Amino acid sequence: MSTKFEINPIKEWLPHINNPLLISGPCSLESEKQALDTARLLAKDPRVFVYRGGVWKPRTRPGSFEGVGSIGLKWLQTVKQETGLPVGTEVANAQHTEEALKAGLDVIWIGARSTASPFVVQEIADVVKGSNAVVMIKNPVNPDVQLWVGAIERIYQAGIKNIVAIHRGFTPFRETVYRNYPNWKTVIELRRLMPNLPIICDPSHIAGKRELLFEIAQKAFDMGMEGLMLESHIDPSCALSDAAQQVTPADLAKLLDRLVIRHQSANNPEFENRLDMLRSRIDAIDSELLELLASRVTIVKEIGKYKKENNVTALQINRWAQLMENRVKTGTKLDLNETFVKILFQLIHEDSVRMQTEIMEPN
């Protein structure tokens, strides 16, 4: 069930925006010169609307570069004064938040590790309460949409209506080409639950390497996201943190040139009529699928009763292995994605076993 929050659209707090929101700047501010040199180049591109710079950097292990600290806030103030770009940084606790607001930063965001802790989010919410802050909230490290929603609700209950969610991917549970697995279905679920919440994508942290940035950014636009956060550094090869995922301002411009920005709808009656017709066909097929699944459930229950009468276990592992092999083979012939077929029938079989075990429970 979706929840209607009175969250402001991006244009409410960024009136001059005329394209998707693009936030860019170094992963970490390293020196005033690096901060300003990068900002000057980014400010020349009218597609960049907010300058980002990490001041406090939460690292997985001690000994890594953990940011320059509060002095970086002064560099961000200088960037804003010189370029006119709104500026923002990540905050990880109440003290960071107080300092960022006192320094007049336009945007603050809560990182993935912080979002995962309701205590930390509440401390930040207590600080921003009563302000007109723009607060962005990255997804938690694990694909827990309720934890993400909970963090957003805490900020909203503090009276903040300038809220943006940032999709930065999730800690992978297996080997993957990405630094953080995209898991787009979690973002789709967030959109369903909070349809008027602006959502942008952070391809830098999903990719972990610059050669994957374009495909992730394009996917984000294909899915209707309102913007991107892309890390840019005057000289990524010298970056003190996340060097592999940052691009120069010039390469950022080339990437943006290639992107195709999608729209929620088209001002074309013929398109809308054709789309409605195709969606009606989808609706009809979905109804047939549900009817077929209901018929399958009836048979599954009969099997469960028969197994109970003959004192046979609900799970038949050899049958399951044979079923999966056959379904994948059939799906491949029908040009269906193998992973999709496996996931689909895994869910169907797990529910079948659940129903049969419930039937077998003693009366």
CATH number at residue 49: 3.20.20.70
Instruction: Give the tokens for residue 78.
Output: 């200088």
Asked if the structure places residue 2 within a domain, the reply is no
180 and 57, same structural domain?
A: yes
> What is the per-residue pLDDT for 175?
83
Domain count, the chain: 2
> What is the per-residue pLDDT for 345?
92
Strands (E), 210-255: 227-231
Q: At residue 312, does pLDDT exceed 90? A: no
Stretch 351-362: mean pLDDT, rounded? 89
Residue 145, strand partner residues: none
Asked if the structure places residue 302 within a domain, the reply is yes
Kindly report, residue by residue over 202-220, the tens digit of the pLDDT: 999 999 999 999 999 999 9
246 and 279, same structural domain?
A: no
**Can you tell me the distance from the alpha carbon of 310 to that of 304, in angstroms, rounded to the nearest whole number?**
10
240 and 202, same structural domain?
A: yes
168 and 298, same structural domain?
A: no
Asked if the structure places residue 18 within a domain, the reply is yes
Q: What is the mean pLDDT of the chain?
A: 93
Cα distances (angstroms) measured from residue 110 to each of 56, 135, 167, 236, 238: 12, 8, 12, 24, 26
> What is the per-residue pLDDT for 75?
98
Stretch 122-151: mean pLDDT, rounded? 97
Contacts of 312 by beta carbon, 8 Å cutoff, 6+ apart: none
In 10 A of CB 106, how many CB atoms? 18
> What is the per-residue pLDDT for 65?
80
Stretch 53-71: mean pLDDT, rounded? 83
Among 204, 225, 258, the domain-final residue is 258
Instruction: Please give the single-letter amino acid code of residue 189.
Output: E
190 and 78, same structural domain?
A: yes
334 and 249, same structural domain?
A: no
Q: At residue 60, does pLDDT exceed 80? A: no
Q: At residue 285, does pLDDT exceed 60? A: yes
Stretch 233-261: mean pLDDT, rounded? 95
Instruction: Give the tokens for residue 287.
Output: 């109804």
Stretch 9-17: mean pLDDT, rounded? 96
Contacts of 317 by beta carbon, 8 Å cutoff, 6+ apart: none
Please report how many Cα atoms fall inside a 13 Å half-sphere around the Cα of residue 216, on the Cβ side: 29
- Chain-centroid distance of CA 284 in Å reads 31
> What is the per-residue pLDDT for 155?
98
Where is average pLDDT lowest: 8-12, 71-75, 86-90, 309-313?
309-313
> What is the per-residue pLDDT for 3?
61
In 10 A of CB 202, how many CB atoms? 27
Stretch 132-151: mean pLDDT, rounded? 97
Q: What is the pTM of this model?
A: 0.81
Contacts of 185 by beta carbon, 8 Å cutoff, 6+ apart: none
193 and 213, same structural domain?
A: yes
Stretch 90-116: mean pLDDT, rounded? 97
Asked if the structure places residue 349 within a domain, the reply is yes
> What is the per-residue pLDDT for 158?
97
Stretch 19-37: mean pLDDT, rounded? 97
Asked if the structure places residue 222 within a domain, the reply is yes
**Can you tell me the distance from the alpha carbon of 277 to that of 281, in angstroms, rounded to the nearest whole number?**
6
Asked if the structure places residue 162 within a domain, the reply is yes
Where is average pLDDT lowest: 36-50, 86-100, 162-176?
162-176
**Can you tell me the distance from the alpha carbon of 330 to that of 257, in angstroms, rounded to the nearest whole number?**
42
3-state helix, strand, coil in the chain (%, to 5): 55, 10, 35
Asked if the structure places residue 3 within a domain, the reply is no
Domain that holds residue 303: 269-360
> What is the per-residue pLDDT for 362?
81
Name the residue with tokens 């690096």: 34
In 10 A of CB 257, how many CB atoms? 8
209 and 291, same structural domain?
A: no
Rounded percentage of the chain residues whose pLDDT exceeds 70? 98
Beta strands 199-201 and 162-167, pairing class: parallel
pLDDT band of 263, cuts 50, 70, 90 = confident
Phi, psi of 14 (to 5 degrees): -135, 70
> What is the per-residue pLDDT for 316?
85
334: domain CATH number is 1.20.59.10
Phi, psi of 241 (to 5 degrees): -150, 140
Q: At residue 151, does pLDDT exceed 90? A: yes
pLDDT band of 315, cuts 50, 70, 90 = confident
Instruction: Give the tokens for residue 303.
Output: 């099997």
**Can you tell me the distance from the alpha carbon of 285 to that of 137, in angstroms, rounded to the nearest whole number?**
38
34 and 171, same structural domain?
A: yes
Kindly report, residue by residue over 153-201, the tens digit of the pLDDT: 999 999 999 999 999 999 987 788 999 999 998 999 999 999 999 999 9
306 and 240, same structural domain?
A: no
Among 211, 228, 258, the domain-final residue is 258
Asked if the structure places residue 59 within a domain, the reply is yes
> What is the per-residue pLDDT for 77?
98
Q: Is the dihedral of CA 347, 348, 352, 355 positive or negative?
A: positive
Stretch 294-301: mean pLDDT, rounded? 93
Q: At residue 61, does pLDDT exceed 90? A: no
Q: At residue 2, does pLDDT exceed 60? A: no
Stretch 223-249: mean pLDDT, rounded? 95
